[in-house]
Amino acid sequence: MLRRTSILVLTIALVGAFAFWRVRPRPAPTPESADARAAADPHLNSADRLAEVERIVAERNRAAGKDEDAFRADGWTMVKTDPPDARLTSYDPSLLAEGREDELRGQLTSTTAAPQHARRIARIALEAKEPKTRFAAVDALGHIHGDEAQAALLDLLTSGKLDPGDFVRQQIAPLLRPRDLDDGVALRMAALLDDPRVTATEKHQIAFTLALVSIRDGMTLPDDTLAALSPDARASLDQAHELVTRRIALHNRRN
């Protein structure tokens, strides 16, 4: 009997301890700092220990308040808002399947994404239902500076997953922007001039961009890259160069 009672008491104690641990006010264990170790010093009595912890807590909260103070001093006011949705701000393509395409599109069109999000955004360009979301995804890639987005655009263009007549695909080639003509992106672009997966219009656009960069920087594609191009591709580059530099006759009687 005594043994059964002991087991029951022990069980209740364990359940109680577990319940206390679960319902405490969202604490998170801190790294073992010197302050925390001092507070847990078994040589301190309980009152001293609590006072020490409260001192540490107050000190840390004073430091935490400095950000608010800085904003207030700069004329900002504190307001209540909901925090950002992490899946939305990371352009999570799985939101498409959850009926949140509109929200995802709003995030794409109204922010500038970071390079690390390029691959996810490329997936949205392929997987979204609405053309305006797919357009927004391709456009968002065009706003990201850096190799990741350029690689994603090049892959979209050559993946075979977008039909040449697809309006969204037609936006891709103008967004290809090499840093310069020695850049890997430029070399891939040059190779596309002979690539059967790329349409004549896309080749024209790629050649025009390469011509712009060439004149902007006063340089040409590397010799070996040029040598590898077909005569048609080189002619395309020459024509683009001429289009950039020649004078055009603007409309004069426009209707």
Partner 1 sequence: MHKVLAPALALTLAAASAHARTDAAAQPIAPGVAPVAPSANASVIGAPIIILPTWFWPYFVTSKCQFWDGTACTSADMANPYFKQILILPSGFADSERADFWTEFDKIRNQMATAGNVWSTQYRHKILWVGYFVPGGPLNTPTANFGAAVLEHPVRGYALSLSQDQVRAKVSAIKATSLPNLNPLGVGVLFNSFQDNITANASPPGFTRTPYGIAKFNRQDLATPYITTHELAHASMNFLDEYMEPGFQEVSIRQLDVLTPLVLFDGSWGGFVSAIGNLFSVYDYNISEILANNGNVNIALSPWPQTTGTGGQWFGYEGGMFFGRGTFHVPGNNLMDSNRDKRHDDDGFAYDTTAAQQQVIDTAFNGNYAYRANDRLRTAGPNDWPIHFGSTTTVLLFDGDKNHQFHPTQYYGVQVGWYERIWDTCWWGPFPYPCYHDEWRTAQKTVWPSVRYVDLKNTAAYGLGGLVQDVLCAVGVTEVKNGDGTFRLCDQDIDQVSGAFLPTLRFFMPYQSTTVPASQWFTTYWWRFYTNNGTWNSYYTGWSSFYRSL
Task: Map the footprint of partner 1 across residues 225-254, applying CB under 8 A.
Answer: 243-252, 254
39 lines the binding site for partner 1 (CB under 8 A): yes
CB of 117 to partner 1, least distance (A): 10
Distance CA 208, CA 168 (A): 20
Per-residue binding letters, 43-82, with partner 1 (x by CB under 8 A): ---x--xx--xx-xx--xx--x-xxx-xxxxxxxxxxxxx
Our CB check for partner 1 shows the closer of 11 and 33 to be: 33
Our CB check for partner 1 shows the closer of 174 and 222 to be: 174
Our CB check for partner 1 shows the closer of 5 and 77 to be: 77
Our CB check for partner 1 shows the closer of 122 and 176 to be: 176
115 lines the binding site for partner 1 (CB under 8 A): yes
The Cα-based distances of 192 to 37, 160, 206, 243 in angstroms read 63, 14, 8, 20
Q: Which of 92, 96, 101, 107 binds partner 1 (CB under 8 A)?
A: 107
Would residue 75 be called left, alpha or beta, if left means φ above 0 and alpha means ψ between -120 and 50 degrees?
left
Our CB check for partner 1 shows the closer of 1 and 86 to be: 86
Residues near 119 by beta carbon (within 8 Å), at least 6 away in sequence: 148, 152
Inter-residue contact 109 to 130 (CB < 8 Å): no
* Structural tokens at position 28: 């998170």
Inter-residue contact 187 to 195 (CB < 8 Å): no
CB of 243 to partner 1, least distance (A): 6
Residues near 94 by beta carbon (within 8 Å), at least 6 away in sequence: 87
94 lines the binding site for partner 1 (CB under 8 A): no
Distance CA 171, CA 157 (A): 10
Q: Which of 112, 160, 165, 227 binds partner 1 (CB under 8 A)?
A: 112
221 lines the binding site for partner 1 (CB under 8 A): no
Q: Which of 4, 43, 160, 255 binds partner 1 (CB under 8 A)?
A: 255
* Structural tokens at position 10: 């022990």
Inter-residue contact 95 to 128 (CB < 8 Å): no
CB of 171 to partner 1, least distance (A): 8
Q: Which residue's structure tokens are 């655009």?
A: 153
Q: Which of 17, 219, 226, 235 binds partner 1 (CB under 8 A)?
A: 17
CA 123 to chain centroid: 12
Per-residue binding letters, 164-193, with partner 1 (x by CB under 8 A): ------xx-xxx-xx---------------
User: Is 229 strand, coil or helix?
Assistant: coil
Binding-site residue total for partner 1 (CB under 8 A)? 90
Span from 2-10, 38-46, 119-127, 223-231 in contact with partner 1 (CB under 8 A): 38-46
